[in-house]
Amino acid sequence: MYNKTIIRNNIPYDILYRLNKSLFQNKDGTINKKVLGMFVAEVGADKVLEVDKKFLICKEIEDAQVETYL
């Protein structure tokens, strides 16, 4: 379990897992979206973000109020 938060497009997400993309790659290098989707559903996540060759398996934070300071 990975315990951090990320904001994308003004939507906050809890990062549940940070995993290597290679865990979901087929032999030809493509991503096996079915297996990735099954993992996301199994852990109760609702979003996958790709950052630095890693997949961030995330869950949207419902009813969060995001404040930005300039």
Sign of CA dihedral 37, 39, 42, 47: negative
Spans of all domains in the chain = 4-60
Residue 3: predicted pLDDT: 77
Contacts 24+ apart (CB under 8 A), 49-55: 49/6, 49/8, 49/13, 50/21, 53/20, 53/21, 54/18, 54/19, 54/20, 54/21, 55/17, 55/18, 55/19, 55/20, 55/21, 55/23, 55/24
Q: What is the pLDDT along the chain (70 residues), one digit of tens a residue?
A: 667 999 999 889 999 999 999 999 999 999 999 999 999 999 999 999 999 999 999 999 987 676 777 7
Residue 60: predicted pLDDT: 94
- Polymer length of the chain: 70
